[in-house]
Amino acid sequence: MSTTPMPATPRPATPTSTTAPSTTDPSTTDPSTGQSAVTVLGLGPMGRALAGAFLAAGLAVTVWNRTPGRDAELVAGGATGAESAAAAVAASALTVVCVVNYDAADAVLRDAAVAAAARGRTVVNLSADTPDRARSTAEWAARHGVGYLDGAIMTPTPTIGTPAGVFLHSGPAELYARHRPVLDALGGTHTHLGEDIGRAAAYDLALLDIFWTAMSGYAHALALASAEGIAPGSLLPFAEGIGTLLPTVFRDVAEALENQDFSGEGNPLTSAASSMTHIVHAAEAHGIASGPIRAAEALTRRVIAAGHGPDGFARVADRLAHDRSS
């Protein structure tokens, strides 16, 4: 559900087919043209990219946006501009929604006329929000006879319609399989994460947590480097080197959590906390706000105080999960 630009994200190791079915369900085609038909609601940058990819794949595309005028280029390229959201939904068996969040999505979908038009059809919501909001909208859809799938877009707009796109989906497997041929027009890899409608949003938020936390750390590092007279370009190759370490570290921490093996041999939490303290002191000596790294230091020291100083960093994740469940 993310429309935030991110680096290409590898497909999670979840069993799924990445090969499109060889036939298209007749219920998803426009009887007047024989083309697969799809509606796109929401024409921000990502919505326009989605509609453009569908058009490029030869689908019959209907588009609608709350603010008029954003459909001009798409209509010139062959899309049909609808006068209302209800008319747009009625034009296709499948509607793809891509707006800023579920407040915006619900404001469109839960309109009485739109709900009536959507009955017996399928909505795929690629808007960004929380798992609970996805479940709430799925409950609404079920009450109104609307097929519903949730999804997340994990790569930026230039990847849409290319092999680099990454899409996550969750919801009824039969519904996903039925509309998979149309969704495949968006290019990239598509992963169905299971029947739990909130699963795509959960993956989305967890992955964005990594991304934005890392970006906050990078912004802080650039400020600290600048204060010491180091230009961004000079730091860059070393920052990229740090980045190459992360996949191995991520794998080690995941395996440690799954195996409940928290050995910190070589890099105990006490050492990690010490280095965090040095960062805080150096940054704040230059007047640089250090909220994110201070929070990481405080969390690490809390875990150490609980008796886990010799453990590795996987223990921090374990304690966070333990605190949630206690």
For the stretch 71-123, pLDDT in tens is 999 999 999 999 999 999 999 999 999 999 999 999 999 999 999 999 999 99
Backbone angles phi, psi at 96, to 5 degrees: -105, 125
Q: Residue 322 corresponds to which amino acid?
A: H
Give every CB contact of residue 301 below 8 A, 6+ residues apart in sequence: 273
Q: What confidence tier does 135 reach under pLDDT thresholds 50, 70, 90? A: very high
Q: What confidence tier does 28 reach under pLDDT thresholds 50, 70, 90? A: low
Which residue has better confidence, 97 or 24?
97
Q: What average pLDDT score do residues 146-152 get?
A: 98
Number of neighbours of residue 98 by Cβ within 10 angstroms = 27
The dihedral through the CA atoms of 74, 75, 79, 82 has a sign that is: positive
Q: What average pLDDT score do residues 148-155 get?
A: 98
Distance CA 25, CA 121 (A): 13
pLDDT at 118: 97
Distance CA 146, CA 138 (A): 9
| Dihedral over alpha carbons 35, 37, 40, 46 (to 10 degrees) | -40
Which residue has better confidence, 285 or 68?
285
Distance CA 302, CA 101 (A): 35
pLDDT at 3: 44
pLDDT at 199: 98
Residue in the structure block whose two tokens are 């006329």: 113
Which residue has better confidence, 261 or 14?
261
How far CA 40 is from CA of 47, 162, 200, 315, in Å, comes to 7, 18, 19, 44
pLDDT at 29: 59
Burial class (CB in 10 A: 0-12, 13-18, 19+), 97: buried
Q: Residue 306 corresponds to which amino acid?
A: A
Q: What average pLDDT score do residues 291-298 get?
A: 96
CA 325, distance to chain mean position in Å, is 25
Q: Kind and range of the H or E element at 236?
A: helix 232-259
pLDDT digits (tens, 9 = 90+) for 176-224: 999 999 999 999 999 999 999 999 999 999 999 999 999 999 999 999 9
How far CA 55 is from CA of 46, 82, 92, 324, in Å, comes to 14, 16, 14, 46
Burial class (CB in 10 A: 0-12, 13-18, 19+), 120: exposed
Q: What confidence tier does 292 reach under pLDDT thresholds 50, 70, 90? A: very high
pLDDT at 323: 83
Model confidence at 2: pLDDT above 90: no
Q: What is the mean pLDDT of the chain?
A: 91
Q: Is 29 helix (H, G, I), strand (E, B) or coil?
A: strand
Question: Which of 55, 59, 146, 63 is CA-nearest to residue 106?
Answer: 146
Distance CA 272, CA 219 (A): 20
